[in-house]
Amino acid sequence: MRFIFPFAEIEKNSRIVLYGASEMGYDFYRQIVTTGYCTIALWVDRQYEWWQHLDLPVSKPDDILNANYDKIILTAEKQSVAQSMRDDLSALGVDSERILWKSDYLIKGNIARKFDIKTQVLDSQRAIETSPREFVDENNLDIVIRVIYARSVLAGDNDLTHKELYKKLITKQTELVEATDRMLVGYFSEYDTKRGWDQFDMSFRELIDSIRNKGFQKEYFIPLDNKKHLLNGRHRIAAAMALGVSIWTVTYPFSTGAVKYDVEWLKTNDFSGDEIRMVLAALEELKKAS
């Protein structure tokens, strides 16, 4: 357990809604159930189908409209995620005064236990060998940027333009904090402690080197939802694409919704015209080469 519920800011015996079933949400849920301090009127998450798949009592955010509650607690570690949750609630007409979020709920000096169902699920399904090219398109330009940088690393040219392009991408996508293992994508990450640019860069370089020397290992498959949307594995796909090797995928029986990293996303996240043209040119090259 890494996060402590904000007991001092929630009145005893009040009714709360937990928004988010990530590691933080799971910690909060356990603490409230254990202590009986207040009542959880509802626990919601955008990816509620995944958490229901794990037998957790998580509902869709729209159910807040019919809930009787005093406060909604946002269980997000990143400010950008919390703001996205606020935007969702605003669209539902929720009063901002009833929303609570703090930037730091960490229990100092504690270590979270790894909660891993990946192998259990893999045992009941068949991994399929496929080409990484299937995931390199106009809606996954972030993968194209990773390929650009992977090729640069493989060539040993240390092109600063490529490195800065990749660094900008990772900063915008992750805020240089890897998803924890209680988040959906974190279940399938081998790097749940990455923090900061140096660790991200080193981990990607090590991944490229590993696939170059050992090939793409089946146990590090690419997880997909039932509509073939990526749950994780964008670095693995890019490294495999740069090296020209196949990947392994496993499809899970739930839907999460696609995240588009298209031209509009690049523009919104301050990529320059020259950078976007570089990415699109690389995409066209990858299409022709495959």
Cβ proximity of 112 and 2 under 8 Å: yes
> What does the pLDDT average to over 239-245?
97
Which CATH topology does 7-100 take?
Rossmann fold (3.40.50)
Helix H or strand E segment including 65: none
| pLDDT tens-digit map of 162-194 | 999 999 999 998 887 765 444 455 555 554 455
Place of tokens 């509009």: 264
Can you give the pLDDT at residue 78? 86
pLDDT over 50 (residue 117): no
Can you give the pLDDT at residue 104? 78
Q: Where are the beta strands (DSSP E) in 203-279?
A: 222-224, 247-251
> What does the pLDDT average to over 111-123?
45
Can you give the pLDDT at residue 179? 57
| pLDDT tens-digit map of 28-77 | 999 999 999 999 999 999 999 989 988 899 999 999 999 999 999 999 98
Span of 80-89, 206-215, 219-228, 274-283 with lowest mean pLDDT: 219-228
Can you give the pLDDT at residue 59? 97
Q: What is the 3-state secondary structure (H, E, C) of 181-208?
A: CCCCHHHHCCCCCCECHHHHHHHHHHHH
pLDDT over 50 (residue 113): no
The domain spans of the chain are 7-100, 118-289
pTM for the whole thing?
Answer: 0.61
pLDDT over 50 (residue 235): yes
Can you give the pLDDT at residue 73? 98
How large a percentage of the chain has pLDDT more than 90? 65
Span of 28-32, 126-130, 237-241, 268-272 with lowest mean pLDDT: 126-130
pLDDT over 50 (residue 110): no
Mean pLDDT of the chain: 87
| pLDDT tens-digit map of 123-171 | 445 789 999 999 999 999 999 999 999 999 999 977 799 999 999 999 9
How large a percentage of the chain has pLDDT more than 70? 87
C-alpha distances in angstroms, 83 versus 17, 80, 102? Answer: 17, 5, 11
Residues forming a β-bridge with 130? 247
How many helices (H) and strands (E) would you count in the chain? 10, 7
